[in-house]
């Protein structure tokens, strides 16, 4: 399965990176062919909210940086995995700067049924697995994170979605949690 | 004296969220002449040491912090999250409590798209040692443009009333009341009309950009 991994783990956070390692092993265990964007080492500018990727250069951000390659990769993938520390129930700013730039993957036109969202630009977009890292348990943040992944999947027209939270734990257990989520998504 | 800091989270200079934040602060200043207000745009602020120092100093100065920002991909924009992460890294431990209020606006007609942003703001307040003073979520921000609410006339009356109520509550030291949240969430125009106007707006921009026949382009389609 063609898989894109947005890795927003801080390079200096060993505990968080252990979760990333467990996730990567789980992905390969489940037969995913993974291409990783290490966001801390990838130059991606924040979205300017200019709508140019919708009306100026449709489907492509005119401010070319690594996000254009990331968007191309996501458009051709079957699974998008985002791994990020959970910041107040949300993605970290590092993960978010990449996700904000993925707005070129949807069309400016609206889908009129249900809760409003934009129509998809491509016939198929990848399923979304959101994996959050929490240094300590926080039920409020966990609940908001699960809703966020669900909303992201809805607006990005992902055919399947799961939110997983990893905490301080044994590597093998973290890997098992990720494998379980992948199996649930594609069973 | 009350000291209010507006953290403007939109990367666009003339955005609706900035206008709403300024309208709230103007109301607070009008209610209490001893209110001093400052505005800081977070876009690009943390890229340099000087900007980080400015944010730190403005945050320490204020007794009430108001964040106004748009919704990007269901949550606060990356630059706003970066500012929140920066501020929460050293939770407030001052003698006087510091209050935090958030305004989020969304281009979709339903205000429910702002709910996650307000939840994120509430959790930030807890993590940063601030007192959560509530927030307002506005849908259909395209109908407001970037102009003042007065320029939008009666259509913007519920928004103006919601800001009046929020300003009064914040000035009195109370949280934003539920009635203000309900008014803010009220659609300004019917959803089908809003979507028609929004579609027309995009088509008009595309016409001017000579891209109207390419709006559905798939530049990253698999070959």
Share of chain B above pLDDT 90, in %: 85
Share of chain A above pLDDT 90, in %: 96
**Does B123 lie in the same domain as B18?**
yes
Share of chain B above pLDDT 70, in %: 99
Q: How far apart are CA A6 and CA B217, in angstroms?
A: 25
For A36, the domain range is 2-186
Q: Give the CATH number, domain containing residue A26.
A: 3.40.50.360
Average pLDDT over residues B136-151: 88
Of A167, A87, A165, the closest CA to residue A132 belongs to: A165
Residue B109 per-residue DSSP state: S
In a 3-state reduction of DSSP, which class is residue A118? strand
**Does B219 lie in the same domain as B121?**
no
Confidence of residue B18 (pLDDT cuts 50, 70, 90): very high
Q: Using the beta-carbon criterion (under 8 Å), do B215 and A155 form an inter-chain contact?
A: no
Give every CB contact of residue B161 below 8 A, 6+ residues apart in sequence. B180, B183
Of B128, B111, B131, B81, the closest CA to residue B180 belongs to: B111
Average pLDDT over residues A65-74: 96
Confidence of residue B223 (pLDDT cuts 50, 70, 90): low
Residues 62-101 of A with CB under 8 A from B: 71-72, 75-76, 87-93, 96-97, 99-100
Of A122, A135, A101, the closest CA to residue A16 belongs to: A135
Average pLDDT over residues A155-178: 96
- For the cut 80, the answer to whether the pLDDT of residue B222 exceeds it is no
Confidence of residue B146 (pLDDT cuts 50, 70, 90): low
Q: Using the beta-carbon criterion (under 8 Å), do A152 and B74 form an inter-chain contact?
A: yes
In a 3-state reduction of DSSP, which class is residue A174? helix
**Does B207 lie in the same domain as B180?**
no
Q: Would you list the DSSP string of A6-38? A: EE---TT-HHHHHHHHHHHHHHHHTT-EEEEEE
Please, what sign has the CA dihedral across residues A13, A82, A145, B123?
positive
- For the cut 90, the answer to whether the pLDDT of residue A160 exceeds it is yes
Q: What is the pLDDT of residues A76-92, one digit of tens each?
A: 999 999 999 999 999 99
- For the cut 80, the answer to whether the pLDDT of residue B110 exceeds it is yes
**Does B200 lie in the same domain as B102?**
no
The structural domain count of chain A equals: 1
Q: How far apart are CA B130 and CA A126, in angstroms?
A: 39
Q: What is the pLDDT of residues B19-55, one digit of tens each?
A: 999 999 999 999 998 899 999 999 999 999 999 999 9
Q: Tell me if chain B has a CB within 8 Å of the CB of A140.
A: yes
**Does B6 lie in the same domain as B45?**
yes
Q: How far apart are CA B32 and CA B26, in angstroms?
A: 10
Check residues B145 and A46 and name the one with the higher pLDDT: A46
Write out chain B residues lying below 8 Å of A100, CB-based. 72-73, 77-78
pLDDT attached to residue B150? 86
Confidence of residue B221 (pLDDT cuts 50, 70, 90): confident
Write out chain B residues lying below 8 Å of A106, CB-based. none
- The strand pair at A117-120 and A127-133 is best described as unpaired
The structural domain count of chain B equals: 2
**Does B213 lie in the same domain as B181?**
no
Averaged pLDDT of chain B: 94
**Does B128 lie in the same domain as B57?**
yes
Give every CB contact of residue B181 below 8 A, 6+ residues apart in sequence. B134, B135, B136, B137, B162
For B213, the domain range is 190-223
A149-184 b/e (C-beta count within 10 Å ≥ 16 → b): bbbbbebbbbeebbbbbbbeeeeeebbebbbebbee
Write out chain B residues lying below 8 Å of A138, CB-based. 123
Q: Please, are residues A77 and A27 in contact by the beta-carbon 8 Å criterion?
A: no
**Does B33 lie in the same domain as B90?**
yes
The shortest C-alpha distance from A175 to chain B (Å) reads 28
Q: Which residue in A60, A110, A152 is closest to B73 by CB distance?
A: A152
Average pLDDT over residues A66-74: 96
Q: How far apart are CA B136 and CA B159, in angstroms?
A: 10
- For the cut 90, the answer to whether the pLDDT of residue B100 exceeds it is yes
Q: What is the pLDDT of residues A93-144, one digit of tens each?
A: 999 999 999 999 999 999 988 899 999 999 999 999 999 999 999 999 999 9
Q: Using the beta-carbon criterion (under 8 Å), do A58 and B217 form an inter-chain contact?
A: yes
Which residue on chain A is closest to B223 by alpha carbon?
Answer: A76
Averaged pLDDT of chain A: 96
Average pLDDT over residues B172-182: 96
**Does B216 lie in the same domain as B181?**
no
- Choose, out of A46, A134, A146, A161, the residue to mutate when testing the contact with B (most B CBs < 10 Å): A46
Structure-token match 């993590």, residue found? B127
Q: What is the 3-state secondary structure (H, E, C) of B133-191?
A: EEEEEECCHHHCCCCCCHHHHHHHHHHHHHHHHHHHHHHHCCCCCHHHHHHHCCCCCCH
Residues 111-130 of A with CB under 8 A from B: 112, 115-117, 121-122
Structure-token match 């969202």, residue found? A117
Confidence of residue B153 (pLDDT cuts 50, 70, 90): confident
**Does B154 lie in the same domain as B66?**
yes
Q: Give the CATH number, domain containing residue B96.
A: 3.40.50.360
**Does B107 lie in the same domain as B36?**
yes
Give this complex's ipTM.
Answer: 0.96
Confidence of residue A12 (pLDDT cuts 50, 70, 90): very high
Q: Which residue in B78, B206, B221 is closest to A97 by CB distance?
A: B78
Q: Please, are residues B34 and B10 in contact by the beta-carbon 8 Å criterion?
A: no
- For the cut 90, the answer to whether the pLDDT of residue B144 exceeds it is no
Q: Using the beta-carbon criterion (under 8 Å), do A103 and B119 form an inter-chain contact?
A: no
- For the cut 90, the answer to whether the pLDDT of residue A187 exceeds it is no
Q: How far apart are CA A126 and CA A4, in angstroms?
A: 9
Q: Using the beta-carbon criterion (under 8 Å), do B72 and A47 form an inter-chain contact?
A: yes
**Does B144 lie in the same domain as B196?**
no
Q: Which residue in B79, B84, B205 is closest to A55 by CB distance?
A: B205
């Amino acid at each position: 399965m063609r898989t894109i991994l947005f890795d927003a783990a801080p390079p200096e956070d060993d505990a968080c990176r252990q979760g990333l390692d467990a996730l990567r092993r789980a992905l390969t265990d489940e037969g995913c062919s993974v291409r990783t964007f290490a966001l801390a080492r990838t130059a991606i500018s924040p979205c300017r909210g200019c709508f140019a990727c919708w009306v100026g250069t449709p489907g492509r951000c005119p401010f070319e940086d690594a996000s254009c390659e990331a968007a191309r990769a996501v458009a051709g993938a079957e699974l998008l995995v985002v791994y990020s520390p959970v910041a107040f129930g949300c993605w970290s700013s590092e993960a978010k700067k990449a996700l904000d730039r993925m707005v070129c993957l949807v069309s400016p036109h609206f889908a009129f049924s249900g809760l409003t969202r934009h129509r998809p630009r491509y016939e198929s977009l990848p399923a979304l697995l959101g994996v959050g890292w929490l240094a300590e348990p926080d039920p409020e943040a966990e609940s908001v994170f699960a809703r966020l992944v669900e909303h992201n999947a809805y607006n990005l027209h992902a055919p399947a979605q799961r939110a997983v939270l990893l905490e301080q734990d044994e590597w093998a257990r973290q890997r098992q949690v990720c494998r379980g989520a992948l199996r649930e998504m594609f069973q | 004296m009350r000291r209010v800091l507006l953290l403007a989270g939109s990367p666009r200079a003339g955005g609706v969220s900035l206008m709403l934040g300024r309208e709230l602060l103007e109301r607070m200043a009008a209610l209490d002449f001893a209110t001093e207000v400052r505005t800081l745009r977070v876009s690009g602020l943390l890229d340099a040491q000087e900007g980080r120092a400015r944010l730190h100093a403005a945050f320490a100065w204020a007794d009430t912090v108001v964040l106004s920002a748009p919704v990007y991909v269901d949550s606060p924009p990356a630059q706003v999250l970066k500012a929140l992460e920066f501020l929460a890294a050293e939770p407030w431990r001052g003698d006087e409590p510091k209050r935090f209020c958030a305004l989020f606006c969304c281009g979709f007609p339903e205000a429910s798209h702002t709910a996650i942003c307000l939840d994120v703001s509430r959790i930030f307040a807890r993590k940063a040692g601030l007192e959560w003073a509530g927030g307002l979520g506005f849908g259909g921000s395209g109908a407001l443009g970037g102009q003042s609410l007065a320029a939008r006339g009666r259509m913007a009356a519920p928004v103006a009333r919601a800001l009046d109520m929020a300003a009064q509550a914040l000035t009195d030291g109370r949280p934003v009341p539920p009635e203000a949240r309900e008014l803010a969430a009220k659609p300004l125009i019917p959803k089908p009309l809003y979507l028609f106007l929004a579609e027309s707006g995009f088509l008009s921009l595309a016409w001017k950009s000579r891209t109207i026949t390419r709006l559905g382009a798939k530049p990253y389609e698999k070959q």
